[in-house]
Structure 1
Amino acid sequence: MIKIMACFLIGVVTAGCNGIVKPDLSGGTNDSYFLVFSGFPVPYLYMASAVQWNDDYAVTTRHTPFIPNVTYSCSTHCDLVFIKHKANGHYPSWRAPRVGESITAVGGSPYLVTTTGKGKVYQTPFVNADEHSGDLYAIHDAPLVKGMSGGPVIANDGSVVGINIGFYSTTLNDVSSNSGVKGAERISIFIPYSIIQREWGMLQAKLTNPHGPKYAAK
């Protein structure tokens, strides 16, 4: 039997506020995610969150302008960049999200306080028609506020399953009318692990052979 999933095809992902979040009280575990700020020519005008990927790199959203130390942007123009950032103590384990599992969305806020929201993962994929990447993003229904873009989506086992992008501005009636997100309180969008892992493979290839395939045989 072939299972067909509905797909949101929309043009706008917003980054204001779609619910009430709480301060993050995780203490020592939060050194694997951190705030990032825009650099020249508008230092500290824009803020986002980032998550440590490995010893030397972290990931955050592409839509946040002028983030320094960007090493690599998504090959499909999806909303993802890798930044050069040394791990501070440790970095999280990563894995693919599971439909129906409970998650915690984490990230910064306009008051520079790390915040969290609780929700769960939904089956319906999401396409941002404005960016033309063709990538299928994932959906959870945890609340997000401005500044949480790039922050981790954390499963109950502590694994990071993706990074927050923003949310789809809609009414609860619109949400309940789509079977893929039936019961969701809101539609928050995140980049799943599979896309980040794919792009890490592309970055690794670039680091191994910076001149491209045509130089590989030389």
Structure 2
Amino acid sequence: MTISIMLFPLLSACTAVGHYKVDQTAASKADFHFVGIPVLAGAIGSSFPLTAKYSLTAGHVAKVMMVKVKAYNPLCDVAIIYHDNAGRKLPKLETADKGDKISLYGYNAYTAMPTSSSGVLKEFGWWDKPNTSCLYGLSDAGGVPGMSGGPVYAQDGAVVGVFTATHPKKEPDHVRSLPGNRRLGGARDQELALRRTLLH
């Protein structure tokens, strides 16, 4: 079975950008994870259920999370982890289109509170080689450390991606091409990177 899903990549150090808010509904959409050793050197990451046995999170969260990893894609910064989701309502998965309104959910690393933000999917671009690597998009939604690995929802309630990082100023040098020869970044300083890939 092939699932087409949009994913949010790590483009730079994760910093807070844009508008985000405490939102108790995020607690039902994203799972809370300590990353590293809690209290000593821990941080917070998020994930969300894919199946009764697996959840999806950001790759950089899974690498240091205290859970077993089923699959990891370092280029796309995404990972499938083992997680008991028995009895939980599983989200519908679908792709998103440019112009779609989206909502991001996760946990704020500074407060450990469930957090959300919303925005519009502005553009898509390739991480490396067109049609062979992860397809990214840009959104004007806000984000904060800890939300990495949390779900991105479309207005119809379907999950269209996983949040992995913020893009505070401009595109990285390794983003080489976009459809129509456009570059990531540009007009907005506080954009989030999104990526679409195929998971098997």
The correspondence of residues 3-152 of structure 1 with structure 2, limited to 5 A, is 12-26=11-25, 30-39=27-36, 42-43=37-38, 45-64=42-61, 65-75=63-73, 77-87=75-85, 89-109=88-108, 110-125=110-125, 127=127, 134-152=133-151
Shift of 1:185: 6.6
Counterpart position of 1:211: none
Q: CA deviation at 1:93?
A: 0.8
Query: SS where residue 165 of structure 2 aligns?
Result: strand
Inter-partner Cα distance in structure 2 for 1:116 and 1:186: 16
2:169 partner SS: coil
Give the superposition deviation at 1:157: 0.5
Q: Which runs of 4+ in 1 moved over 6 A?
A: 178-183
Distance in 1 between residues matched to 2:70 and 2:137, nearest whole Å:
22
Q: Which whole-Å deviations, capped at 9, do the CAs of 1:138-158 have from their partners, x for residues lacking one?
A: 221100011111111111111
8 Å contact kept, 2:126–2:133: no
CA contact (8 A) 1:123 1:181 kept: no
- Measured against aligned partners, the alpha-carbon deviations of 1:152-191 in whole angstroms (never above 9, x if no partner) come to 11111111100111111217xxxxxx78767757210134
Q: Where does structure 2 lack aligned partners over 5 or more consecutive residues?
A: 1-9, 171-181
Which residue number in structure 1 is paired with residue 5 of structure 2? none
Q: Pick the structure with more strand per residue.
A: 2
Change (3 A) 1:104 1:12: closer
TM-score norm. by structure 1 comes to 0.69
TM-score (norm 2): 0.74
CA offsets per residue over residues 104-155 of structure 1, 9 Å max, x none? 11111020111111101122325289xxx94222221100011111111111
Percent of aligned pairs sharing the same letter: 22
User: What is the aligned-residue RMSD (CA, Å)?
Assistant: 2.8
User: Highest Rg: 1 or 2?
Assistant: 1
Instruction: Please report how far the alpha carbon of residue 91 of structure 1 lies from its aligned counterpart in structure 2 after TM superposition.
Output: 1.6
Opposite residue 119 of structure 2, the aligned amino acid is G
| Gaps in structure 1 of 5+ consecutive residues | 1-10, 172-177, 202-218
Provide closer, same or farther for how the CA distance between residues 76 and 149 of structure 1 changes in structure 2, counting only shifts above 3 A.
closer
Counterpart of 2:3 in structure 1 is none
Aligned residues: 173
Q: Contact 1:31 / 1:90 at 8 angstroms: preserved in 2?
A: no
- Pair 180,82 (structure 1): closer, same or farther in 2 beyond 3 Å: closer
User: How many angstroms apart in 2 are the aligned matches of 1:95 and 1:124?
Assistant: 16
Separation (CA, whole Å) in 1 of partners of 2:82 and 2:158 = 21
**1:76 CA drift (Å):** 5.6
Relative distance call for 1:179 and 1:59 in structure 2 (3 A) is closer
Query: Are residues 32 and 54 of structure 1, via their aligned partners in 2, closer, same or farther at CA, if it must alter by over 3 Å?
Result: farther
Asked if 1 retains the 8 angstrom alpha-carbon contact of 2:169 and 2:189, the reply is: no
